[in-house]
Structure formats: C-alpha cells, structure tokens
Amino acid sequence: MKRFDVVVIGAGAAGMMCAGVAGQRGARVLVIDHARRLAEKIRISGGGRCNFTNVHADRPERFLSEDPRFVRSVLRGFAPSRFISLVRRYGIAYHEKHRGQLFCDDSSERIIAMLRDEMTHGGVQLWQDCAPSAVRARTEPDDGGGNGEGRGARYEIDTPGGTVLARHLVIATGGLSIPAIGASDAGFRIARQFGLRVVEPRPGLVPLRFDPQAWAPFAALSGLSLEVDIAVAAEGRRPTFREDLLLTHRGLSGPAILQISSYWRSGQALSIDLAAGQDVTAGLHEAKREGRAFVETVLAQWLPKRLAAGWLGQSAFADLAGERIPQVANRRLDALAQAVRAWSLTPVGSEGFRKAEVTVGGVATDELDPRTMGAHRSPGLVFIGEVVDVTGWLGGYNFQWAWASAVRAAEAMTPG
C-alpha cells in the first residue's frame, strides 16, 4: 500500500490550495478526486472569470456559522491580501468590481492553472476520475518506517487505484450545491461515519420562488432592476443587504435575492426598501408643497418609471393613479411611502441545490479545532472549505474561506 503524509479528498478550491501548501512545506501529498476535470466550480464562477476573493473577506460577521469565533480565528490566519499576492506572483490580471469583489480579467482557468502549478511545485500526486469507495481509521497507526511527525498512518482510503495510507486525511469535498457538476454528500457521510455532528445542509446564494398569482401584478415588469435594501422580516439580528434587485416574469432575482436567501427560512417574509434608504415620506410631502406633479411622476424619483406606474396599479393605491400630488391626503402619501420603504412578500421556496451557489450548514465547527481544522475526536481527520458549517456572503467570500481554511490546515499538518 502506498503511504502519504496527507491525502486530500477533493480537488476543488480548498483541496488544491491545501495540497499545494502542504507539499511545498515538505509533506508527501496525494489528492484524490472523482471528477475528470479539475475544479469545475472555480471554472464556472463569476461568469467564467472567478470572483476569487473580496477585499473585505476578513470580516467574520459576513459569514454564517454557529460559531463566529471559529470563523474569525481561521480568517485571521490568511487575509485576502495573501491570496492576492499569490495571484500577482503568477501575473494574473484582475480587477475590482463593486463592494470589493475581485475577478480575473480573462478566464477562471488562470486560477485553476495557478493552483495546479502550486501542487506541482510541492510534488503533489493527483489521481483524477478516482472516487474513493471507503475510508477508515487504522486501529494501531504504525510509524511507517519514517523519520518523525507526519509519517505514521492513521487512515486507510480504498480507491480504484488501490488502498492508500495517510497520517492526515483532509476532506475537501464541498457541499451539495450544483449536483450537475459533481456535488455530493460524500464529505457529510464521512463526518457522520466518524461520529461528527453535521448542521443540516440547505441551499444558499440561491434564487427564491414566488407564488404566480401573488406575482401576477408585477409580471409585466420583467427586466427592471434597481438597488434596494433587503432583509428577512424576522425576529433577532438579521443583516440588511444593499444590492441590485431584478424583477422577472416569475418573481424576484439578482444579487439582492441571492444574498438574502442564505438567511431566509421557509415561511419567512422578505422586507424590501425599494428606495434603498432614501426618505420617501419627506420627498412626497416636499413635492406636495412645491408643485402640481402627478404622484406617479414624483414616485419615479426613487423607482424606475415602469415600476412607479405598476406600483400605483395595485388595488391598494389605485386611487392615486392619475392624481396630482396636491390632491392627495397626507395620510395616503405616508401609506405610499411606507409601502415603498417596506415591501413585504413571502417566497414559496427556493430553486434548491441545483441552482444554489453554496451550501449553508455542514460539519459543525464545535467538532473541529480552529487551529488545525482537525476533528477533536479523530486525530488527523481534517475538514476544510464548503463542507464545514461556514458560509460567506456573495462576492468572493466563500473562496476566501476555502483559501483560509486550506492554509490553516496545511500549516498545522506540516509544522516547522
């Protein structure tokens, strides 16, 4: 049987990063992946240009997890600037979009090639199209005939290429999102096999679905977009996102919906400020004092014209359609402003893992040591990336978690 210091299952962002760092620090590393093509999720991300990090991705409050302290500890060890330095070293041109998002100028293939080169520099072996059939702990880890820490085999992994031994077994299999490119529950099954708790996975950064009847008054507005503030209308602390909202013939989409979807639970309503924080009440009353404009014209200061007309087309405000603003009672203007600032609607569901960009939930952080990413009760068993119960915001945060957790694990497995 072949023996390695580190066996990584999963050749995605976290797995490749971890393998490259560990290999360059002197470990004998094998990466096993079931797919024929490397890192398909990197390849399709960012419209093919890979939103590889975010300049603000060192902020733990922008991640979902049962334990924010765990997230903070890991992120501190590998700031976005360190990955950016690696990208620059490889001469990969990139640009910043809004809200700190960093994208390749050309193709996400550049990031994949960079990670592959990092593994090559570390002497990492890569077995593709090679799905492990079983993993198990060895009852009596031997010393492997080696010389020091990292040589004794703790785990056996059965593969089509034979059984391999590893002192450290790294699970970097990702989550359940986008099964069409190979996502599976393999990492969660391994965690449960070793008695680790798994926070129930659910889709994140995913389009939400709306009732066709409830949406009917707005279906004709498909294609309109505007910046909004959006939150889940629920008790407790919930973030409010300022993002672009897209109206479609089936409901709402765009970054605003993807962001809030990670926090949304079935049955909860969304609260949307269509004016994105602007004081609509004061604006309407000022317009009433100063002119004779139609209500629709004034409303179009904050909303696209078609949306302003559609908003007044609702039965609740039908009496304002075609009215000049001086003829409208103050209480009706207040009600209109309130409706625009706090539009409430309840999704009927999400598009599920097939359309989700990430998985919320995963291996519970209280099962892992943030200094090593290793399982408390199974020495040498390590979980990194999306398989862990840490999920970032839209815009490069999840890749930064992959890089940070991978490096934390690699450095802990190769001390000195």
Residue range 369-401, pLDDT digits in tens? 999 999 999 999 999 999 999 999 999 999 999
* Helix segments in 7-150, DSSP class H: 13-24, 40-44, 68-76, 80-89, 109-121
**What single string gives the DSSP state of each residue in 223-247?**
T-EEEEEEEEE-SS----EEEEEEE
Q: Rounded to two decimals, what is the model's pTM?
A: 0.94
User: What's the CATH number for 207-350?
Assistant: 2.40.30.10
Q: 34 pLDDT exceeds 80?
A: yes
Domain extent listing, the chain: 2-202+357-413, 207-350
Main-chain phi, psi angles of 395, to 5 degrees = 115, 35
Q: Which residue has the higher pLDDT, 314 or 305?
A: 305
**Could you say which DSSP state residue 70 is in?**
H
Residue 266's contacts (CB-CB under 8 Å, 6 or more residues apart) are 349
Q: Mark residue 361 as left, alpha or beta (left: phi above 0; alpha: psi -120 to 50; beta: remaining).
A: left
pLDDT band at 150 (very low <50, low <70, confident <90, very high): very low
Non-local (6+) Cβ contacts of 356 within 8 A are 176, 177, 178, 203, 204, 205, 206, 350
Extract the tokens encoding 157: 């992994």
Tell me if residue 157 falls in helix, strand or coil.
Answer: strand
pLDDT of residue 148: 38
Q: What is the DSSP string of 279-305?
A: -HHHHHHHHHHH---BHHHHHTTTS-H
Task: Give the architecture-level CATH label for domain 2-202+357-413.
Answer: 3-Layer(bba) Sandwich (3.50)
Burial of 44 (0-12, 13-18, 19+ CB in 10 A): middle
Domain 2-202+357-413 and domain 207-350, same fold? Reply is no
Any idea which of 68-72, 145-149, 159-163, 230-234 has the lowest mean pLDDT? 145-149
